[in-house]
Amino acid sequence: MNELRHNFREALKSVEEQALGGLDMVVGQVDRCLEALEHQDVELAEFVIADDDRLDGRYLEVHQGILSLLALQAPVAGDLRIVAALLHTIKHVERMGDQCVNIAKLIPLTGHEPPIQEEILGRVLRMGRAARDEVTLSRRAFAERDVSLAEALVVQDREINALNREIFALAVSMGVDEDTREWAMTMTMAARAFERIGDNAVDIGEQTAFVVTGLFREFSDSSHPMPG
């Protein structure tokens, strides 16, 4: 029996590493999205879209791995919490990959020489970098079972939400030039995608707290406007 439990724990650890490796893949996709946005790189955007198949494949691998573990042995207590949390986490990984694809699909729509407004683009890039940091932090928090790190995601997410509101306000006031307004609206969609990546990172943080404490709780709602 002890050997069976040991083998189960080793297999569970392997599945967790696969799931957290999916977050590393998301970081790579976000980096490519940022570069493609900054340099209007349509080819790189197309690579982001094509490479999403790898993330989808990782989702299926982890999902199947968890089902195999459940068939092997019924986990209890802490192990069961990890299994449940990993099912949620890999789904969030897949969703973040989809948001990267959404951003990449926007880039060809703006044309080869779009009427870029730096005050908007700069904020979108800051959002993307902040979202990337959130993904990295969520991975570290889960791997280290660190609830304080997980809760810190909420603070980072507020920055993303504030930038998103600024981008929307700037886009609305972009003037009368049709091409500029169309480009600005496209950037609001990219900003929204980065915001969703951050939200998914916070959700992974909540799963970390669940694994550690055995209680699921939503962190303070970072979608609310910051006071002040």
Does residue 187 register a pLDDT over 80?
Answer: yes
The conformation of residue 109, written as its DSSP 8-state character, comes to G
pLDDT of residue 69 exceeding 80: yes
What secondary structure letter does DSSP report for 225? P
pLDDT above 70: percentage of residues in the chain: 96
- Nearest Cα neighbor of 137 from 126, 125, 153 is 153
Question: Given a cut of 60, is residue 167 above it in pLDDT?
Answer: yes
Q: Are 66 and 83 in contact (CB under 8 A)?
A: yes
**What pLDDT was estimated at residue 221?**
54
Least confident piece of the model among 47-51, 92-96, 215-219, 220-224: 220-224
Tell me if 48 sits within 8 A of 33, measured CB to CB. yes
Q: Given its phi and psi angles, is residue 145 left (phi above 0), alpha (psi -120 to 50 degrees) or beta?
A: left
> Whose structure tokens read 């209007």?
40
Walk me through the domains of the chain, giving residue ranges and CATH numbers.
2-213 (1.20.58.220)
Which has the closest alpha carbon to 203: 126, 100, 91, 127?
A: 91
pLDDT reading at 136 higher than 90: yes
Residue 43 has pLDDT above 70, yes or no: yes
Distance CA 86, CA 63 (A): 9
Burial of 58 (0-12, 13-18, 19+ CB in 10 A): buried
Q: How far apart are CA 37 and CA 108, in angstroms?
A: 10
Is 222 a residue whose pLDDT tops 50? Answer: no
Alpha helix segments (H runs only) across the chain: 2-39, 42-72, 77-106, 118-144, 147-172, 178-213
pLDDT value at 78 more than 90: no
In degrees, to the nearest 5, what angle opens at C-alpha 224 toward C-alphas 158 and 29? 40
**pLDDT tops 80 at residue 158:** yes
Residue 226 confidence (pLDDT) above 50 = no
- The pLDDT value given to residue 1: 57
Whether the pLDDT of residue 227 is over 50: the answer is: no
